[in-house]
Amino acid sequence: MTNHSHPLTGKNILVGVGGGIAAYKVCEVVSHLFQLGANLEVILTESAQKFVTPLTFSTLARKPASVDGDFWQPVYERPLHITLGEWADLMVIAPLTANTLGKLVHGLADNLLTNTVLASTCPIIVAPAMNTEMWLQKSVEDNWQKLAQDSRYHLLHTNTGLLACDRIGKGRMAEAKEILSSIESIIVSKGKRDLVGKNILISAGNTREYIDPVRFMGNPATGKMGIALANACYYRGGNVTLVAGNINPELLQLLPPVQIIPVTTAQEMESAMVSNFPQADITYMAAAVADVKPRHYASQKLSKKSLPSSLELEQVNDIVAKLGEMKQSSQKLIGFAAQTGDIITPGKEKLQRKNLDAIVANPIDKDNAGFATDTNEGVWLDRQGEQIMFDRTTKLTLAHKIIDFSLFYLIPNT
């Protein structure tokens, strides 16, 4: 079932499966990639076949998976590793074993997978998985650091949890959703690392203003757009700080290793943003922040009978406007405006009034856009007069487009 609107549709993705119990997670990755319309090739190492069979991946990818035996067959046209290496837009190696890691670092090639790596020039995502003691060995750590110095490789960090050896520790391979997110990021950005050395500050989610300990005023923002921005900035090399307002912990667990500052109220978000803003090169204010709060807070739960028939409200501070006042000439501040009806006129007004460098206005009254959705659309407006529409796409792809525009229009020499 192909999704023709997805950014991975039609892309050539080669998945290399290493020998480890985490190979079962790669089945889900391949299945989802097929459903998104990607063109797939799968290579299994000899040890990988002890955990998952080639037939499994052939079924999921809808074409035969390749193994070392295919590498050694007589060549009638072009060698298999050359053909696959030139074909791939992106390679994914998961699970990456300590053995394959050492081969990649030292340029060794003794099987189909490692020969294909050397015969290719595309970006490569690696997702390691191993026992904690193996992962913490100095030789493995040294190889991991060396691989990180090669800009062609995009490294997924291991998670902490219960391992196949029954130990709880580091070494768990990234989950399928994390791998899929990294694949989309690298495909859309073409592996660029144009945010290296830049500090990125992002707000995401919503704020809650409490009436009593169990009741609050809020909004339906889930933080998916801000999380997409954090993912995109991380994979492009940025040093990311995410101020997260009431975001589901399951969403936060899928983030790469960025700094997360959890907050609840607008006042807490303001404090976190103001304290981190001076160090930020680029700030994205993607959170949906309350405009008002109850004037009075009851420290004990109000009974149903004692609930007021009307609430006295007072304004909360406008965080992005305050950041606009603090902004130095070297800093760039991009706001977001969730609107109904005409999104451009109020977007332009907020751009000027809040001293923003740019604003992304998006509709919340259209299907599959706005709050809680996985897709979004909108318009980019900046102080140079640019007005560019974003067609509906995944929030992660939209995040990359916003970063592209931030760098092209606001920091033109990057």
* Catalytic machinery residues: 165
Rounded Cα distance between 412 and 303, Å, is: 58
Other C-beta atoms lying within 10 Å of the C-beta of residue 301: 11
The vertex-272 CA angle with 207 and 244, nearest 5°, equals 45
Q: Are the beta carbons of 377 and 362 closer than 8 angstroms?
A: yes
Q: Are the beta carbons of 338 and 362 closer than 8 angstroms?
A: yes
Q: Are the beta carbons of 175 and 214 closer than 8 angstroms?
A: no
Q: Which residues of 326-343 are buried (b: 16+ CB within 10 A; e: fewer)?
A: ebeeebbbbbbbbbeeeb
DSSP symbols for 213-253: TTEEE-----SHHHHHHHHHHHHTT-EEEEEEES--HHHHH
Q: Which positions ≥6 away from 14 have C-beta within 8 Å?
A: 40, 41, 42, 43, 84, 87, 88, 90, 91, 92, 116, 120
